[in-house]
Chains A and B, each alone.
Chain A
Amino acid sequence: MAVRMEIALKEHLHDPEGMSLCARIRDYFGWEVETARVIHVLTLDTSLTQDELESVRQEIFTNPVTQESCFGTLARDFDWAVWVGFRPGVRDTAGSVAMEAIAEYLRKPMGTDEVAYTSKLFLLQGTFLERWQVETIARELLANDIIQQWRIHGPSGWKAKDGMGIVLPKVILSHEPSFSEIPIPTDASLAELSRERNLALNPQDIPVIRDYFLREEVLEQRRRVGLSLPTDVELEAISQARSDHCNHNTFRGRFRYLEVETGRMEVVESLFKTCIEAPTLEIQKNRDWVVSVLWDNAGVARFDENSNYSITGETHNSPSNMEAYGGALTGIVGIYRDIMGTGKGARLIAGLYGYCVGPRDYSGSLRPHLHPRRLLDGVVEGVRDGGNKHGVPTLFGNLVHHPSFLGKCLVFVAALGIMPREIGGEKTHEKSPRPGDRIVMCGGRVGKDGIHGVTASSEIYTEHTPAGHVQIGDPYTQKKMHDFLLEARDEGLISFITDNGGGGLSSSIGESARFSGGALVELDKVPLKYEGLDVWEIWVSESQERMTVAVSPEKLERFMALSRLHEVESTVVGHYTDSGKLHLTYGGKTCAYLDLSFFAEDFPQWEFDARWLSPRLRGLTEPVLTEPKDYGALLHALLVRPNICSREWIHRQYDHEVQGGSAVKSFVGRDRDVPSDAVVVRPDLRSRRGLAIAQAVNPVYSLIDTYHMVAATIDESVRRLLAVGARLDEIGGVDNFCWPSVQFDSRLNPDGDYKAAQLVRANFALRDVCLAYGIPLLSGKDSMYVDGHLPGRFGERHKVSGLPTMQFTATGIVPDVNLSVTMEAKVPGDLVYVLGETGDELGGGEYYEMLGYTGCNVPVLSPSRLLPLYAALEKALNRGVLASCHGLYRGGLGVHAAMVAMGGELGIQLDLREVPRKGRLRCDQILFSESCGRFLVTVQPQKRDEVESLLQGLPFALVGSVLDTPELQWIGEDGEIILRETVASLKKSWKHGTL
């Protein structure tokens, strides 16, 4: 019988969740709600007796000190009550934990059909809101109809005893699982089928696929296992394997690149091979610390003689755009699994994030699925719960607001792990399943999660239809699996491991089978969340928190025993073979029988026309500006801008110190609130060796030239690492591209060829700069189709393409963390130097953007000129002669000198006449140019000679000093003070200012 338990804080206690809700209602809509209280609802659909129910209510679910509870309702004296619960099939971790707890308390196993569902009842009090307003709050703040359902109640009609009644979001699929053979008489019929089933097969692939299935020897072999035509399972598997997501068809495509202005033409056969793989292999030759790159779930590099670290990054844009919290949470725990599945498995040591979203205060006429403000709040919380509950420090991150991301947001996630270099004489970065090894699926169960368009295309939508295409990650289950798998690894029980992400088993087993030479999988062995999945759905489901592990038969018993100890579900679903076949069965019948060689068939390369229109051809020019007069107001205005202002509210919510190794935190300075250039951690607490980590992203430069966008972004991340004391010759990189569609279509994508050229140029820069700096790409990913189609005012839809974006994540070794340096000014009287030259390079920068311009002179990187300066800086940092070191990034010297002052809570005087420069520059140009390769450092006067001799012959200058008076002062061209602002007032603008 189903009962509903309500649990709430005792009435006299402050309800922070309710008060936060009032604040958000004010922030989002400008409406007043005096108080809100939250009631937690637990709906139990079990066979527990009355006595059992009563005892679990009191003993488990009610804290006698702070809570009250009942079966019935606690809701009273409200103006409005909003109930929010999950839709059927949405991962309800708290619900399953409740069942675990009940079973534990009653010391009896619960039946598979006994379920607990959690939901919430929000009571709004002291408000004059009308129903439509409450509906708006429910829809736009409390619930997302993709994963949640809600009900609104006024006080009238509320039953004092039963409240809102019982809602059971139970998945009921009255469907007999099966598979079927599908005729493909012509290319056209396969193309039609692809449309119907959402297979998204590329038209060029269709003849290759048909040709394979119609081949006589293939037909003959298939007949022997009882198959003839391709099955739905096979076609779905092929669709997954050939998708751009899995196969990177764009990056492996052929680009006919034309520079329209010069007429220069170049055919690039594969961006991946020429701009990512080739330079990395070249660099690896001279860098023995690069251990494993370009094949595994993450790259592996040497940390010290005992350990390697692994790193990778990806994006989770589309899911986050639909359901921000669940999408981001699933993204961060998903990238963790890549680390857990690299080599024989690594221990997680860091998570990183990057968000690109529309303006927080957007009030235009386009209507994105989620308003940017809500979307950002959701992704921030998703990454928070994923990291915090996994015990992984979330160390660093970025946030960029730009209207182009209204169409689709970007959510970057990255993670690092550490592993011993060898275990039992075997190298941990190597792995391979052997024929005969058992295929074990560990972790969660399989449901209709992440299956493409299933709800839209093939199901009638009912109240019991699983809302599977958007998922909610479960860090608790995954943390248990993480601990279990590391123990199994250390006992030498794992031959091979990989995660189940995109494509599910179809990817993890399909790809690993290529190492052993085949696999036999019994799909009816796969544990399911609920009955009724079709066979192909089991194979391609993207249900989270699962790893696929190869375990040799003699080690299986031990592996399963450990799995039980950790209370992680593990199931043998088949074994690896050397048959050359991917052989799937269901109920003893073969449902797929594909040659592994098929996946390496000669599929045609994707082709793109790429036409580069130079900034001049696009009509970009520099703005005609005179020098501003009120520098004080100007600086304040810059500091409150959404892409400059403090993001402490985000990072404070992230546990960035768990594991105890933090040495340079993301917040530094006397008040611990100014962002650091990079972070440094000690992954091995017994060692002084550290790992520096930084990320950079500068999409606005793409408005001028994506080549320089990428170059400046890599340079920024390198400078960030150098600034905290990382070694220049042990820097690894991870590139994450997010791009709008680059396939030209005169109607749907009329500038597709220009976007393709932007992609080519971005990759050229990646190649050139990585080679120049000697940065191997330890990992990377691309995410295409950053386009959204947003409804407008009149029922029309607008295509909104995100700016071409590449986030670069860089890691560097810090030989001794005791020598790390932070960015804030330390001691009054210290000398202030600017290193590197400032040029007339304000294009795409923050200053121009604020004034409404793009400009034309984007920062141009010249690695060969900068490297000697970087080497000298590294030496100075090693000798401990710099009191602080800070790179100059977005916003330029003006903004970043303010950061150094705010960090130290000390004044800084800058004489702008002394700043090293290229050509004649006005003060505003010196202050707000975003030229690459620059730093601001402070030095104890006694160290002056030593610092200056280290920098001799390089572009640097003494430009001022650290002041006791906490004031920022700028001296202009005529020697007069053009800005004098207290550090406190600047900080107030930066932390609390409004536009």
Chain B
Amino acid sequence: MSPVRALVLTGFGLNCDLETAYVLEAAGARVERVHLNRLVAGEKRLGDFQIFVVGGGFSWGDDHGAGVIMAMRLKHRLSDELMDFIGKGNVVIGICNGFQVLVNLGILPGFQDAQLSREVALIHNDCGTFRDQWVHLQVNRDSPCILTRNLDLLELPVRHGEGKFYAEPDVIQRLIDANQVILRYASADGQPAGGLFPLNPNGSVHDIAGICDPTGKIIGLMPHPEAFNHWTNHPDWTWKRERSRREGRAIPEEGQGIRLFRNVVEHFA
């Protein structure tokens, strides 16, 4: 069987491409990092891939709204290829800046099939500044999202200044009802944060950290699964190591974040 192919977008201030490519490879995909203009020029074709990742970063410096200008460029220069890609049942993942791009592009939340519409927004954190911290996340097991399949609780870092998930109440309700909310900021025991800072680091409505479209194949999330690629990424790993040594247990070296990408690769297997 031919390997699953993943494309990680680069250029114009995107910046998590190396580690995103690494976790996808570790999950079993064959990965290429491709500059946006190579896609636009037709040097590389989206149609040759099954997974398309727009990762973290500051595209166009995040001036005029995080992800806004990247979204406009994708819409102008790649929307046919992209809609075609999605129509074939392929997977699009937006992480952090990529999530901001997907909501501004309007393929998330994707209420109407094959139509671009801006329904939700990621805006400045309530705390007023960029934050880098690890969060606990509750996974919605009823969601069709293929990224978070078979997961319950996650710990991942968030690193953003504009990560507050916002939409009008009817939109939020619709997302909840359709199980399009995939991740919620939570306490260590998995209870939703209830807006409490810093468990909910940005003031996101309904503690929403990630959503998907109704098919579960277009996915956006603020936390960075690619940044938990090795157990030493976890802020408490030395404490866990000391405990496990004494209990004679071994801890797997792989970071929890890789599992999410393996879910996606296995989806195509």
Contact = CB atoms under 8 A, between A and B. Distances in A.
Interface of A: 9, 13-14, 16-17, 19-20, 23, 59-61, 63-66, 93-94, 97-98, 100-101, 104-105, 107, 118, 384, 388-391, 474-476, 479-480, 483, 565-567, 652-665, 667-668, 670, 672, 680, 682, 685-686, 817-818, 820-822, 824, 826-827, 880, 883-884, 940
Contacts of B227: 657-658, 660, 662
Nearest to B23: A660
Interface in B12-52: 12-16, 18-19, 22-23, 35, 37-38, 41
Given A61-B64, A821-B238, A16 B16 contact: no
Contacts of B11: 480, 483, 566
Contacts of B118: 63-65
10 contacts: A13-B123, A13-B166, A20-B128, A20-B129, A63-B123, A66-B123, A66-B166, A93-B61, A105-B76, A826-B239
B133 A660 contact: no
Given A389-B13, A664-B232, 20 more contacts: A16-B124, A16-B128, A63-B121, A65-B166, A94-B64, A475-B58, A479-B15, A565-B41, A652-B131, A654-B130, A656-B132, A659-B19, A661-B19, A665-B235, A667-B235, A680-B232, A685-B229, A818-B232, A822-B239, A884-B238
B60 to A, nearest CB: 5
Contact of A100 (B14, B23, B69, B246): B69
Interface string B135-155: 000000000000000000000
B13 to A, nearest CB: 5
B72 interface: yes
B129 A653 contact: yes
B116 to A, nearest CB: 12
Contacts of A93: 61, 63
B226 A660 contact: yes
- In order of increasing CB-CB distance, the 6 nearest A-B pairs are A391-B15, A660-B19, A476-B61, A20-B128, A94-B63, A663-B232
A725 B58 CA distance: 34
Contacts of A475: 58, 61
Given A101-B72, A685-B22, A476 B246 contact: no
Contact of B235 (A16, A101, A668, A685): A668
Given A16-B127, A653-B131, A685-B230, A389 B58 contact: yes
Contacts of A664: 232, 238
Given A65-B118, A479-B13, A940 B246 contact: yes
Given A483-B10, A567-B12, A60 B64 contact: yes
B233 interface: yes
Nearest to B241: A818
B69 A101 contact: yes
Contacts of A65: 118-121, 166-168
Given A476-B60, A656-B132, A820 B166 contact: no
Contacts of B22: 660, 685-686
Nearest to B22: A685
A383 B218 CA distance: 35
Most chain-B CB neighbours within 10 Å: which of A107, A659, A824, A827?
A659
Contact of B233 (A94, A662, A668): A662
B211 to A, nearest CB: 14
B242 A826 contact: yes
Contacts of A821: 238
A59 B72 contact: yes
B58 A476 contact: yes
B192 interface: no
A682 B230 contact: yes
Contact of B232 (A16, A817, A880): A817
B203 interface: yes
A475 B125 CA distance: 22
B230 A652 contact: no
Given A566-B37, A826-B239, A940-B246, A63 B65 contact: yes
B130 A660 contact: no
A817 B237 CA distance: 11
B132 A60 contact: no
Given A60-B64, A566-B37, A658 B230 contact: no
Contact of B126 (A14, A94, A656): A14
Contacts of A16: 124-128, 203
Contacts of B230: 663, 682, 685, 817
Contact of B132 (A17, A652, A818): A652
Interface in B76-131: 76, 104, 118-121, 123-131
A880 B131 contact: no
Q: Output the residue of A14, A19, A93 with the most chain B CB within 10 A.
A: A14
A52 to B, nearest CB: 15
B233 A653 contact: no
A51 B151 CA distance: 50
A880 B14 CA distance: 39
B239 A658 contact: no
Contacts of A389: 13, 58, 61-62
Contacts of B220: none
B253 interface: yes
A672 B56 contact: no
A560 to B, nearest CB: 14
A818 B10 contact: no
